[in-house]
Amino acid sequence: MNEKRFQRVWITGGSSGIGRALALHYAREGAYVLVSGRNAERLDEVARATGGATYPLDVTDAEAVKRTVAAVWEDAGPLDLAVLNAGAAFKREGRDDTAVNLKRHLDVNLMGVAHALDALRPRMREAGGGTIALVGSLAGYVGLPRTSGYGTSKAALGYYAEALWAELQRENIDLKLISPGFVKTPIIAANEFPMPFMLEPEEAARIIARGLERPGFEVAFPRRLAWPLRLLRVLPASWRVRLVAAAERRARRR
């Protein structure tokens, strides 16, 4: 099997959850790990554990993202892998704050990734290639109740990745989409519904790392949640929304 090994890895959202677990995983594998995030104190803890470097960053600030990518490149040299993991899930402030909630999610989960990809792509192309992983979610597969902001942003990210994949392949950049299910991280605190097949961040990191080393566009897990959602996605929309609504009614009665 054609597998990769990564020596220089940059991870956004690296101070907690999946990002932190991935940083620790790659450090154990011998990679030089660079992490970004908004919490400088937690970033420093990760750096002490990995022996890597930290770059505090708010991914919604496009100019700050450009400066950070330039600093990462200057300090570490060309990256083998960039994991664009920074993300957020916000609770609605009121019953009808749809536009407010959606914009907050899109700013972080879609535009934050786009800012980083714009800064990384020309540098990685000039260096001869590399791997960029976008962390989406199984929540982007189908429209789930009470996830209109988060789910829409992740669905858009999946489309974005698919649309760019062929372009980046021609530039020797391997674009991957990571689609996790429920992982025990701070981001799930906003969820107001049952979360089956919950994984620990360390297990999620192992699955992601294996997937990134192998050929293929998407790493979706756990399979026992990914496959039912994939099957739902191929149904006519009129069937799908009724099935999802019926499942939610059953969950609310429990």
Token readout for 46 is: 């990760």
Question: Is residue 203 over pLDDT 80?
Answer: yes
- The predicted model gives 119-123 an average pLDDT of 98
Domains and CATH numbers, the chain: 8-253 (3.40.50.720)
The whole-number average pLDDT for the span 167-189 is 91
Residue 31 vs residue 98, higher pLDDT? 31
Sign of CA dihedral 208, 211, 217, 218: negative
The answer to whether the CB of 219 falls within 8 A of the CB of 204 is: no
Mean residue pLDDT of the chain comes to: 92
pLDDT at 130 over 90: yes
Name the band, by pLDDT with cuts 50, 70 and 90, for residue 32: very high
- The two tokens of residue 4 are 């990769």
pLDDT at position 196 is 76
- Which of 4-13, 22-31, 59-68, 88-97 shows the lowest mean pLDDT across its residues? 88-97
pLDDT tens-digit readout, 41-55: 999 999 999 999 999
Q: What's the rounded Cα separation, in Å, for the pair 89 and 135?
A: 13
Sign of CA dihedral 23, 87, 145, 95: positive
Alpha-carbon span 17 to 38, nearest angstrom: 13
pLDDT higher than threshold 50 for residue 35: yes
Give the β-pairing of 81-84 and 218-221.
unpaired
Quick check: helix, strand or coil at residue 14? Answer: coil
User: What is the β-pairing status of strands 173-180 and 130-135?
Assistant: parallel
- Asked if the model's pLDDT at residue 27 lies above 80, the reply is yes
Residues labelled catalytic: 150
